[in-house]
Amino acid sequence: MQKQIHRQDKKTEISNYRKRNQMVEVWSRLKKNKMAMLGLVIIIILLLLAIFADVIADYDTLVVKQNIMERLQPPSKKHIFGTDEFGRDIFSRIVHGSRISIKVGVISVAMSLILGGLFGSIAGYYGGKTDNIIMRLMDILLAVPSILLAITIVAAFGTNLINVIIALGIAGIPKYARIVRAAVLGVKDQEFIESARAIGATDATIILREVIPNCLSPIIVQVTLSVAGVILSIASLSFIGLGIQPPEPEWGAMLSGGRQYLRDAWHITVFPGLAIMITILALNLLGDGLRDALDPRLKQ
């Protein structure tokens, strides 16, 4: 018994060493991709803006408080992105709006990943009727466009931040269930899974410690791309009035509020639109770079 435990500990140590080497190899390959690194730099800048938004711009004075005397001013030294129809500083609203977009994106994708990953891992590991029932439910959800499903949930339960996060999180569950299921099917019959069963590991332990960690490559790439999709979805919901409500500085709501002034004050819509475009572009560049770095066929 002690020999088996010693062998298992040694295998775990070897596995951890290999994982560290793989991470170093993936990072070195990712660094060679200039576009992916550009996306990573932009994302880091956005995260810093979101973290230090209160330091960069005062929320009550510049973001929420209306100043009709300075409405619709073009970009200047005082307001580098100009002011909106209520005299609020657009740059400050974009900075604080990054908090909302990143928060909704990360929490919604985390919800989709946890629930979808749980369903997908159970379906792939057990197979049979369990797999059939779970995946048919996922197919039903996939039959409804994700944005339409999110609109239905938000319209039914109300337009607030929590409901928007729940709606977008539920809409992304089937996608992760299918990805994780496919990855689990590829590893569940490997020798290390049989070794875990041989030493008496429970199914939950095998799934959480052995199966899912070996399926992380496609999941990591999908998470990066999904955050971009969620940010675009929340902007779309806010644009049609079903997302974050005024006076909260959400990028889609800023676009919706400024569209009637597009001819006379172009800056009201252009800068929030650029913020959405640059954020999604950066996430897509990083996602593409991670996909290439994690592709085992590129190791040769």
Query: Is there a domain that residue 6 lies in?
Result: no
Task: With CA atoms as reference, report the closest residue to 101 among 230, 205, 203, 10.
Answer: 230
Query: Is there a domain that residue 67 lies in?
Result: yes
Task: With CA atoms as reference, report the closest residue to 51 among 5, 106, 88.
Answer: 106
Strand partners, 83: 89
Q: Which long-range contacts (CB under 8 A, 24 or more apart) does 20-29 make?
A: 25/299, 26/293, 26/294, 27/293, 29/292, 29/293, 29/298
* Contact assessment for residue 125 and residue 203, using Cβ atoms and an 8 Å cutoff: yes
What digits encode the pLDDT tens for the residues 179-220?
888 888 877 777 777 777 777 777 777 777 777 777 777 788
H or E element, residue 244: none
Query: Is there a domain that residue 148 lies in?
Result: yes
Tokens at 99, concatenated: 């908090």
pLDDT at 280: 92
d(CA 53, CA 92): 8
Query: Is there a domain that residue 1 lies in?
Result: no
What digits encode the pLDDT tens for the residues 269-300?
999 999 999 999 999 998 888 887 776 555 44
Strand partners, 89: 83
* Contact assessment for residue 185 and residue 129, using Cβ atoms and an 8 Å cutoff: no
pLDDT at 14: 47
Query: Is there a domain that residue 234 lies in?
Result: yes
Across 121-129, average pLDDT: 86
Q: How many CA within 13 A on the CB side of residue 18?
A: 8
pLDDT at 236: 86
CATH number of the CATH domain containing 232: 1.10.3720.10
Q: How many CA within 13 A on the CB side of residue 146?
A: 21
Q: How many CA within 13 A on the CB side of residue 267?
A: 20
C-alpha separations of 280 from 37, 90, 209, 237 in Å: 15, 20, 32, 16
Most confident of 2-6, 203-207, 215-219, 238-242: 238-242
Tokens at 98, concatenated: 């990054």
What domain range is 226 assigned to?
Answer: 33-299
The pTM score is: 0.81
pLDDT at 300: 45
Number of domains in the chain: 1
d(CA 3, CA 241): 64
Query: Is there a domain that residue 27 lies in?
Result: no
pLDDT at 241: 82
Query: Is there a domain that residue 21 lies in?
Result: no
Query: Is there a domain that residue 92 lies in?
Result: yes
Across 163-178, average pLDDT: 88
What digits encode the pLDDT tens for the residues 47-81?
999 999 988 888 888 888 888 888 888 898 888 99
